Each structure stands twice: as C-alpha cells, then as structure tokens.
Structure 1
Amino acid sequence: MDLRQLRYFIAVVRERNFTRAAEQLNIAQPPLSRQIQLLEDEVGVPLLIRNSRPVQVTDAGRLFYEQAIQVLGRTEQMKVAARHVGIHQRRVLSIGFVASTLYGGLPILMRKLRQHAPDLDIQIVELMSTRQIQALKEGRIDIGFGRLHQSDPDIVSIVLEEEPLAIAAPVSSDIARESTPLPIEALAGQNMIVYPKEPRPGFADHVLNMFYGHGIQLGEVLEVGEIQAALGLVAAEFGMCVIPLSACQMRHDVHCRPIDGIRATSPVILSHRVNDRSEYIDLIKRLGQEIYTSDRSRPDAS
C-alpha cells in the first residue's frame, strides 16, 4: 500500500465515478482501476461496489476513506513541520473558528497564546462547526472552536462554556421594552430569523430544536447565511433572531434580552485530533479552560 493508492481511492470516492476520478488525477482509467483493485487485495475486503451508478462505497470502504484522509493529512503536516524545522522557521498552528466565538473569549485566548508562545505562527481559518471536524481529520487545521456537539471517535471535544442565548428583537417591539431575561414561551408565534442556512446540521437547527423541545410553535422562519445578515433583518423588523449572549454587542439598532428556558445555551467547544500530542494543544486547552471559567468582564481577564 502506498500514498498514491490512497489518493486514487479518495478521488474515486469523492467523484463516485472512475472516469471523472481518472480525469481529475490526469491518468487513464485502466491504471486507476488496477491500483484500486490492488489496494482492495491488500486490505482483504471490497471497498467499492463497482456495478452501481454512481459507484458506491462499502461499510469497510467508508471507514478506510476516513482513515486515508487522516493519513494523507498527517503526511502533509509532517512535510510542512520538517520543512519549517529544517530552515529554522517558526512553528505553525492552524486554528479554525466559527465567527460568533470572536465575540466571547476567543480573542482573549489568542492574545494569551501569543504571550505564552511568541515564536508560534498562528493561522486562523473561519469554518462552520461541522466543517471543522473534516478539516481536523484532513490536517488543514490543528484545533477548532465551534458550537456543535459531535461524536467522531478520531476527535477530542471539550466544552469550554455553555454560553447563554439571547433574543435579538427590533427596537420597536414590545419585547424591547425591558432587558430582563425573557421566558422562552413569550416567543411563541414570533417570526424567527435563523442562521446559517448551510451547512446543516448547524446553529440554526440548534435554535429550532430548542423551541421545538419546549413545544413552542413559531411564526414564519427565515433562513439566512450568517449572523450579520440575520441581525440586519431584525433591525429591518422582519422578525427576531436567537444569538449567543456575547454577540449582543454587534449592533445598537436591535435590542437583546437573555432567554430564560431549558437548554437556552450554546456551547463553545474546543476540538482537536485524538492523537495530537502537540505542546501547543495542551497550552490552548489550559488557557481556554482558564478564560472561559473566569469572569471576562474583569480588567485582568485580558
């Protein structure tokens, strides 16, 4: 088994077609089919179902596909790390994040990370929570800060905080007359703007499931791409929007109130690969737990 065979197999799975995979790899189809057959012979079980259109993946093939992505991702990381060490460059750490975490403790964590590791080159990538998992497994990021629980056996996830949720309402609405916590039942029948429209499942599903879990029927539900668009539509009186409490600072032309209800929170989740033993992963975990369990409103939190 060699890395070329893994790349070939991944291409076939992604394209679901030998011809398209061969074109993508810039090789003829017969050699591609031969290499996949050799790979299956070595593994000892079928990985693909060839007599279907499109090509289907067996259960063993799905497992092998996930592992192959990780192997290639780690191989690329090895090359980059060796290159940096060989030419005496700084270490690189890639961090994925969802935009809403920037309104909470993540900027503080980044500042403290730079203080503790001044020689570390930090690269940040904005990624939805579900896409962070794949990016971790492919080696494109080293750590992720998201808001959705996942159960991938190759990923370690730590909940740093269960952040309260708030309702953002038009300033002209009755709800905007007070700032006290709002019982979630008071939102029954309200038009709701949720984000992101994709990928799914996402934060939008988390919000809708919270309402459904309380037996609350909403009015019209409008899906948009991101939080800025959602809050803009709230300001324009198209409806209301549930956001993390820390994001209430984003606009001054909407009114926010904390939501009082069971599961009216959104987790901030730190994720990394199971076998990643980097000293920087341990440092970020320690800093994250310190920051998210402290009162960030205090001057010494920064």
Structure 2
Amino acid sequence: MKIHQLRYFITVAEELHYSRAAEKLNISQPPLSQQIKQLEDDLGVVLFKRNKRNVQLTEAGKSFYENSKLIIHYIEHAKKEALRIQEGEIGGITLGFGGSAAFDILPEIIKACNLSIPDVKIDLKQLTTSEQLRALEEKKIDVGILVTPIKTPGIETKFFRKEELVLCLNTDHPLAKTDEPIDPKDLKSENFILPPRNEGDGYYKSIFQVYNDGGFFPNIIQTAKEQHTMVSLVAAKIGVVIVPQSTTFIKLSNITYKSFNKKFYKVSSLAWKKDNMNPVINSFLKVMEQSVLPKFN
C-alpha cells in the first residue's frame, strides 16, 4: 500500500465516479482503476461496488475512507512539522548570558522570539564568558552572549554592542560629590572590586583600559562574579568598581554611577559553535539580526 494509492482511493470515494476522479487527479482512467484494484488486493477487501450505472463504497470501503483521510492528515502534519523543525521554527535553544545582559538584552530577546519564533523554547543559563566558552565547546549551550574578543577555535561570533564603562561608587565617596566626569588618574589610591581574571579575559581587559589610561595597577581588594554582588560591596564601602552602562539598572540608595572623562568600552558578541547542528540557531540569529541588534547599535 502506497500513499498515492490512498489519495486515489479518497478521490474516487468522494466522486463515486472513476472518470471524474481520474480527471481530478490528472491521470487516465485505466491506471486509476488498476491502482484501486491493487489496493483492494493488498488489503484483501472490496472497497467499491461497481456496476454500469454507478460506484458505491462497501461497508469496508466506508471505514477505510475515514481512516485513509486520517492517515493523509497525519502524513501532511508530519511533513509540515518536519519542515518547520528543519527551518528552525520549532524546537529549543539554550542561551548563555552574562549578568549585565539580564538588565536590558534578555527582555528584548524574549519579546522578539515570542513574536517571530513562538514555537521555539528558550532555556536560559547565566554564565561568565569563560563558562560560556566551555559550555559552547561541550554543547551545553547553543548560543552565548559574551565579552569579546575571544580566541577559541571553532567558535563563531557576531558583534552585538559596544557598551560604555562607568564607575560605581558609594555616595559618601568624595568623587561622588563632584559634577565633573571621573579622570582615571584620580583613582590610583582606590580599592577596586573586580571579577575574577579567569572568568573572562575580555571583560578584564576592558576594565584595564581605565587603569592603563590612569597609569597605575589597581589595588584589588575583592573579587566577585556577579554585578549585583559587586555593587552591593560598593554600597558596603568595600571599594569602587568599573561596570558596563547596563549595570546602572541596579539602584541602591547609597551608590551612584559616574562617567569617565573619556570613553572606555566593553564589547559584547553573540557566539556559537560552528559545528552545532541545531537548526534553531540560524532562525534565532535571524531574529537577533532583524529585531534585536538594531536596538543596541
């Protein structure tokens, strides 16, 4: 039994006329009659009562007609779903992101994906840049939003945004009371809170732009992975911290953010493993390019 035989049978069953069915199927009548006869032989049942005047379905034919329609429906559904999966319209993707991305990037991504690829499930994992690179290698995440540049073979990247760095300090700090932007040279004697060096070389190098410009090596008094933790340490007067602009979404009563007297930036990019065969990656990247990236550039 073949799928095209089911289609032929359904058409004859609905037309109850071989000539009209053949015309509708765009084939001649003899091959159509042969296919129906072969189908009956394969099934071992008579599907039609035939005489010179008309064609009628047998009781077995009526039952087989209803089931044949269901079979064709499921085949068409399976075909469409397989195509949508191949095109990345159905499925799942695991997205890695750094702490500051949660403030402004993630809401835009989720909104855009819900509109453009609503049948794709997005699983979120908050990870540092180093953790994301390991997870990409091990295919524990499909796409990462991380600090670049990176030098990892097999990892593709696409520029996301260039984000200005600012200084977070306690409101009691003397530099918090001035209206002037911060000169890096004025930070030589400060105690600094930094992310661990091994958690992201790109972010570390971004921050060191400020120290290099000020002509000093920082006195690192404390390290912390998360933006919230670093800002809380500033509130506790442990030290000061250089953070990306998006961190200013964190508001505490006794902290403030100050710009520098020149621009320093952290660069973030999308990253994915070149040999990752998840078809959702391409559809996700298209949504990012069309709907999300323009809002951050």
Q: TM-score, normalised by structure 1?
A: 0.61
1:225 aligned counterpart, secondary structure: coil
Give secondary structure in 1 for the equivalent of 2:289.
Answer: helix
Distance 2:150 2:230 in 1: 25
Asked if 1 retains the 8 angstrom alpha-carbon contact of 2:154 and 2:274, the reply is yes
2:258 is equivalent to residue 254 of structure 1:
no
Check the 8 A contact 2:194/2:220 in 1, yes or no: no
- CA separation of 1:112 and 1:188: change in aligned 2, threshold 3 A: same
Structure 2 match to 1:39:
none
Mapped contact 2:97–2:145 kept (Cα < 8 A): yes
**For residue 101 of structure 1, what is the aligned residue in structure 2?**
101
Q: Distance in 1 between matches of 2:153 and 2:188?
A: 38
Larger relative contact order (Cα-Cα within 8 Å, sequence gap ≥ 6): 2
Determine the C-alpha separation between the residues in 1 that align with 2:209 and 2:222: 15
Aligned length in residues: 209
Matches for 1:46-61 after TM superposition, within 5 Å: none
**1:260-301 C-alpha deviation (Å, 9 max, x unpaired):** 335x111121112235563222222333321212xxxxxxxx
1:284 corresponds to 2:288: yes
Q: What SS does the aligned partner of 1:207 have?
A: helix
Q: Shift of the alpha carbon at 1:103? A: 1.8
Task: After TM superposition, give the deviation of residue 128 of structure 1 in Å.
Answer: 1.0
| Residues 31-180 of structure 1: pairs in structure 2 closer than 5 A | 90-178=90-178, 180=180
Name the CA shift for 1:118/1:200 in 2 (closer, same or farther; >3 Å): closer
Alpha carbons 2:193, 2:221 under 8 Å: kept: yes
Q: Aligned to 1:104, what secondary structure does the other structure show?
A: helix
Contact preservation (8 Å) 2:206, 2:265: no
Q: Give unmatched runs, 5+ long, in structure 2.
A: 1-81
Q: Is the Cα–Cα contact under 8 Å of residues 198 and 225 in structure 1 kept in the other structure?
A: no
Determine whether 1:183 maps to 2:187: no
Q: 1:147 to 1:220 in 2, by over 3 A?
A: closer
Helix, strand or coil: the match of 2:231?
helix
Alpha carbons 1:194, 1:224 under 8 Å: kept: yes
Larger radius of gyration: 2
**What's 1:199 paired with?**
199
Counterpart of 2:287, as a letter, is L
Distance (Å, rounded) in 1 between the aligned partners of 2:195 and 2:189: 19
Q: Which runs of 5+ in 1 are unaligned?
A: 1-81, 294-302
- Residue deviations 1:200-240, cap 9 Å, x none? 53634542354135422434532223222211111111111
Residue identity over aligned pairs, in percent, reads 18
1:181, distance to aligned residue in structure 2 (A): 3.0
Separation (CA, whole Å) in 2 of partners of 1:158 and 1:181:
32
Amino acid at match of 1:139: K
Moved more, 131-140 or 203-212: 203-212
Paired with 1:197 and 1:228, the residues of 2 have a C-alpha distance of: 18
Q: Is contact 2:95-2:124 (8 Å) kept? A: yes
Is 1:236 aligned to 2:240, yes or no? no
Residues in 2 aligned to 1:124 and 1:257: alpha-carbon distance in whole angstroms:
31
Find the residue that maps to 1:118 and give its secondary structure.
coil
Q: How does 1:25-36 map to 2 (within 5 A)?
A: none
Alpha-carbon separation, structure 1, partners of 2:156 and 2:245: 26
1:154–1:213: structure 2 CA closer, same or farther, 3 Å change rule? farther
Native 8 Å contact 1:130 1:202 kept in 2: no
Which string of whole-angstrom CA distances, capped at 9 and with x for unpartnered residues, describes residues 7-49 of structure 1? xxxxxxxxxxxxxxxxxxxxxxxxxxxxxxxxxxxxxxxxxxx
SS of structure 2 residue aligned to 1:251? coil
With over 3 angstroms needed to count, the CA separation of the structure-2 counterparts of 1:200 and 1:280, relative to structure 1, is closer
Distance in 2 separating the partners of 1:205 and 1:251: 26
Moved over 4 A (4+): none
Q: Is the 8 A contact 2:184 2:210 kept in 1?
A: no
Distance of aligned partners of 1:178 and 1:108 in 2 relative to their CA distance in 1, 3 Å threshold: farther
Counterpart of 1:267 in structure 2 is 267
Give the aligned CA root-mean-square deviation in angstroms: 2.8
1:196–1:227 CA contact under 8 A, matched in 2: no
